[in-house]
Structure 1
Amino acid sequence: MTKKVTPKLVMAILSAGMLSFLGILDETATTVTFPTLIKEFSITTDQVQWVNTLVLLVIATIVPISSQISLRFATKKIFIAGIVFFMLGLVIDIFTPRFDLLLVGRAFQGIGTGIGLPLMYNIILAKVPKDKLGFMMGIGTMITAAAVALGPVFGGIVTALLTWRWIFIISIFLAVISTFTGSYSITQLNKLQQVKFKYGQWLAIAVSLVLLMLGFTSIAKNHFWSFQVAGCLAIGLVSLGIWLKLAWHDHHALISPQLFLNLRFSMQLICYCFAKIATLALGFIFPIYVQTVNHGSVSLAGWIMLPGAICDALMAAAAGKILDKKGARLPIMVGIIASLAGVTMMTVWGIHLSNLAIILLYALYYGGYGMCFSSLMTSGLTSLPAKDHAQGNAIFNTLQQFSGALGTALAGTLIAISQNNHQLLRQQTTAIGARWTFIVLLGLIVLNLIIAIVFVPRPKTIHQN
């Protein structure tokens, strides 16, 4: 049967894309509301970061089983399940009087996004003809990029004019529309199979990710050798070891650990994760910095984030063209150097950043990130044999979400530790915590530059893998 890009197919792509769009939109929109949530629920900075960290962590635990879900269940049922979980989370978020229930709602949103996130690209890959594939994949990327760009502005304006709960009220109307259009347009993508779920492997991965994150985020309020920190980290590492044992000799493993033996793949994956950690950490810091340190409004905090998101989208598009002509090394190196320059200046001026400086430095950093991020994934995957690309893609997607959660947690933890110094004003301790985070991120990006110099292949070697 000849593949065609029909209006119904476009509707199916946009309907599935709406779920990932709303998931990212709500994530970036709520970031600018953190100072408001801290006051309303009487919580600390390290607690409020869980509003987004939890979503990313839940997505990271769902992504590894997405391929098995798509083989076992009908495509339309997967879409409806994603919508139901997401909308249940929205309803809880809209009406909750308590912070812990807000987190429950966000967890349900994470489940919905984790189910729906791969669906849009699966529809594109299965239904779009090859000569239109690049264009439609670009449309899919633009949907998520638009959510990143619009989220902070949307969240700032809605919170300033109404309340933060309207972020979720508006999202629920858009989700209802997507439910009707998706139910009509989404068709089956593959033949269903009675695949056996790898419950043991999935549980080991999920427990490891959750406990490692809990241990890391507990450092702000507990000493290292407490059970909350060292205990969680130790059990998380043991769970990781159990996954290695279960998956090592399984030829149909959820995620094959043997792929990590490919150093070129592994090192570029590390660069990819470090870049995501830095980006989510900065996305957490600057809305708080603008409101707490510079005494700006919540809407101003949203607008200040917009130029950086636009630079990210533009540079990502440019990087794709450069990669096609020159290979991945050039956009990766240029992107890392630009990001390094931005974070270096953030570190130098860390406790005295004006709003204009934040706009310019965030745009410089984010433009560099846009240049290198997708190129690292492309280059990393081409370091693997074609038969391992699906497994490699699952690894990148899982660790992207976990790295994002880790970046948010890193910034929230360091700022919270600094804010424990009650001898200084809150705006001073917030600025100091932000600078500590800039220093850590600077170290990560320096490592990225070193790794990229050694392990990112030159153009003449790219097609030999």
Structure 2
Amino acid sequence: MVKKVTPKLVTAILSAGMLSFLGILDETATTVTFPTLIKEFAVTTDQVQWVNTLVLLVIATIVPLSSQISLRFTTKKIFIAGIVFFMIGLIIDIFTPRFDLLLLGRAFQGIGTGIGLPLMYNIILAKVPKDKLGFMMGIGTMITAVAVALGPVFGGIVTDLLTWRWIFIISTFLAIISAFTGSYAITQLNKLQKVKFKYGQWLAIAVGLVLLMLGFTSIAKNSFWSFQVIGCLVFGLVSLAIWLKLSWRDRHALISPHLFLNLHFSMQLICYCFAKITTLALGFIFPIYVQTVNHGSVSLAGWIMLPGAICDALMAALAGKLLDKKGAWLPIMGGIIASLAGVVMMTVAGLHLSDLEIILLYALYYGGYGMCFSSLMTSGLTSLSVADHAQGNAIFNTLQQFSGALGTALAGTLIAISQNNHQLLRQQTTALGARWTFMVLTGLIILNLVIAIIFVPRPPKTSTHLEE
């Protein structure tokens, strides 16, 4: 059967993408409310970052099951399950009187998003013709990019005019609409099979990721050599080693470790992860910076984030077109260079960033990110065989979420460490922690540039004589 991009297919992609959209909308919307949540629930900076870190971590542990879930259950049932979990989380968050219950609700939202996120990309990979794949992958990325663009403004305006709880109330209505459109448009992607869930492999991955995150975030309040830090990191690595042992000889592994032996895949995956770490770290820093250092309002913090997120959405769509016509090299290299320029200038001016400088530098960074991010995923997946696309997609989405959680935790931890210096004003320690983070992120993007130069496929050189 010839693949075509029909209105029903677009509706299916958008409906599945709505779970990703709402997950990221709520994530970016709540980020600008962190100072409000800190006051209302009497928590610290490193504690409040778990409002988003937990969601991303839950998604990272759910996504590895996506390939097996898609073989065991119908596509439509998977979508409905994602909607139900997400809405349970929304209801808890709307009515919660305590911070721990807020985190519980966010965990349920993470389960729903973790189910829905791979579904959108699986629909694209299964149903979209190859000559439109780059464009539609860009559209899929743009769905989340629009959420990033709207989230801070949406969260700021809603919090200023109503309360932060209305963020989740409005998301509930959008989730209901998505449930109806998805039930109509989403069709079966593959034949169902009786597969046994790889519970041991999944548990080893989940425990490993959770322990690594707990160890990393504990650095803000404990010595690196304490059990809370080094113990969690060591046992996390041991758990991942157990996963490797369980998976290595399993031809039907939950996630095949053999895919990482493909250097073009694994190196572009690393670039993808570094880009996500940087983006989520900056998304955490700037709303707090605007409110704490520059004394702006919640809504102002949201508006300042908007131009950068718009650049991201526009560049993601442009990158898809470029990839289809010119290959992955141009959008990836151009994007990394633009992102690097933005973060370097943030580092130089880190202690004294005005609101206008944040707008301009964030737009420069985010435009570059939009150019390279979806292109790295598309290029990485096309380096695999078609049979490995589902697992490759699961790997990208798992590590995307874990990297996002790591980025948020990185920024939250460094700012919290800086804020432990009570000899300086809070606005000074916040700015100092932000600058430390910018320096780390600069190093990551430099590594990205080096890796991309070596491993991103260059477009084939065509002879003018032959073309004539």
Fold match (TM-score > 0.5): yes
Shift of 1:224: 1.3
Amino acid at match of 2:106: R
Check whether the contact 2:337–2:368 (CA below 8 A) recurs between aligned residues.
yes
**Could you give the per-residue CA deviations for residues 62-92 of structure 1, whole angstroms, max 9, x where no partner exists?**
1111111111112222122111111110111
Structure 2 equivalent of residue 228 of structure 1: 228
Amino acid at match of 1:172: T
Equivalent residue runs for 1:383-462 within 5 Å: 383-460=383-460
Structure 1 equivalent of residue 81 of structure 2: 81
d(CA) in 1 for partners of 2:63, 2:403: 14
What is the DSSP-based 3-state SS (H/G/I as helix, E as strand, rest coil) of the residue aligned with 1:351?
helix
What is the DSSP-based 3-state SS (H/G/I as helix, E as strand, rest coil) of the residue aligned with 1:228?
helix
Equivalent residue runs for 1:3-402 within 5 Å: 8-127=8-127, 137-402=137-402
**Could you give the per-residue CA deviations for residues 402-446 of structure 1, whole angstroms, max 9, x where no partner exists?**
101000000000000000011111111100000000011111111
d(CA) in 2 for partners of 1:376, 1:405: 19
- Return closer, same or farther for 1:25/1:395 CA change in 2, 3 Å cut-off: same
Amino acid at match of 1:117: L
- Return closer, same or farther for 1:304/1:423 CA change in 2, 3 Å cut-off: same
**Could you give the per-residue CA deviations for residues 196-226 of structure 1, whole angstroms, max 9, x where no partner exists?**
1111111100000000000000000011122
d(CA) in 2 for partners of 1:386, 1:461: 25
d(CA) in 1 for partners of 2:78, 2:324: 34
What is the DSSP-based 3-state SS (H/G/I as helix, E as strand, rest coil) of the residue aligned with 1:145?
helix
- Return closer, same or farther for 1:450/1:171 CA change in 2, 3 Å cut-off: same
Amino acid at match of 2:238: V
Amino acid at match of 2:113: T
- Return closer, same or farther for 1:4/1:441 CA change in 2, 3 Å cut-off: closer
Shift of 1:233: 0.6
Worse-matched range after superposition: 258-267 or 350-359: 258-267
- Return closer, same or farther for 1:126/1:448 CA change in 2, 3 Å cut-off: closer
d(CA) in 2 for partners of 1:382, 1:461: 19
d(CA) in 2 for partners of 1:452, 1:130: 24
Percentage of pairs with the same residue: 89
d(CA) in 2 for partners of 1:97, 1:294: 30
d(CA) in 1 for partners of 2:107, 2:172: 16
Check whether the contact 2:248–2:258 (CA below 8 A) recurs between aligned residues.
yes
Check whether the contact 2:419–2:430 (CA below 8 A) recurs between aligned residues.
yes
d(CA) in 2 for partners of 1:75, 1:386: 19
- Structure 1 residue ranges without an equivalent (≥5): none
Worse-matched range after superposition: 65-74 or 352-361: 65-74
- Return closer, same or farther for 1:456/1:181 CA change in 2, 3 Å cut-off: closer
d(CA) in 1 for partners of 2:20, 2:218: 30
Alignment length (residue pairs): 462
Shift of 1:133: 6.0
d(CA) in 1 for partners of 2:180, 2:308: 34
d(CA) in 2 for partners of 1:7, 1:124: 13
Shift of 1:3: 6.2
Shift of 1:138: 4.9
Worse-matched range after superposition: 421-430 or 68-77: 68-77
d(CA) in 1 for partners of 2:85, 2:351: 41
What is the DSSP-based 3-state SS (H/G/I as helix, E as strand, rest coil) of the residue aligned with 2:350?
coil
Worse-matched range after superposition: 123-132 or 102-111: 123-132
Structure 1 equivalent of residue 465 of structure 2: none
d(CA) in 1 for partners of 2:16, 2:136: 13
Quote the RMSD (CA, aligned, Å).
Answer: 2.0
What is the DSSP-based 3-state SS (H/G/I as helix, E as strand, rest coil) of the residue aligned with 2:384?
coil
Shift of 1:139: 4.3
Shift of 1:192: 1.9
- Return closer, same or farther for 1:301/1:442 CA change in 2, 3 Å cut-off: same
Shift of 1:321: 2.6
- Return closer, same or farther for 1:387/1:4 CA change in 2, 3 Å cut-off: closer
Amino acid at match of 1:268: Q
d(CA) in 2 for partners of 1:118, 1:173: 23
Amino acid at match of 1:442: T
Amino acid at match of 1:230: I
d(CA) in 1 for partners of 2:156, 2:461: 46
What is the DSSP-based 3-state SS (H/G/I as helix, E as strand, rest coil) of the residue aligned with 2:53?
helix
Worse-matched range after superposition: 204-213 or 142-151: 142-151
**Could you give the per-residue CA deviations for residues 36-66 of structure 1, whole angstroms, max 9, x where no partner exists?**
1111111111111111111111111111111
- Return closer, same or farther for 1:451/1:2 CA change in 2, 3 Å cut-off: closer
d(CA) in 2 for partners of 1:344, 1:124: 36
TM-score, normalized by length of structure 1?
Answer: 0.94
- Return closer, same or farther for 1:391/1:75 CA change in 2, 3 Å cut-off: closer
Amino acid at match of 1:77: K
Amino acid at match of 2:249: H
Worse-matched range after superposition: 259-268 or 377-386: 377-386
d(CA) in 2 for partners of 1:348, 1:248: 46
What is the DSSP-based 3-state SS (H/G/I as helix, E as strand, rest coil) of the residue aligned with 1:318?
helix
- Return closer, same or farther for 1:346/1:396 CA change in 2, 3 Å cut-off: same
Worse-matched range after superposition: 317-326 or 219-228: 317-326
- Return closer, same or farther for 1:337/1:131 CA change in 2, 3 Å cut-off: closer
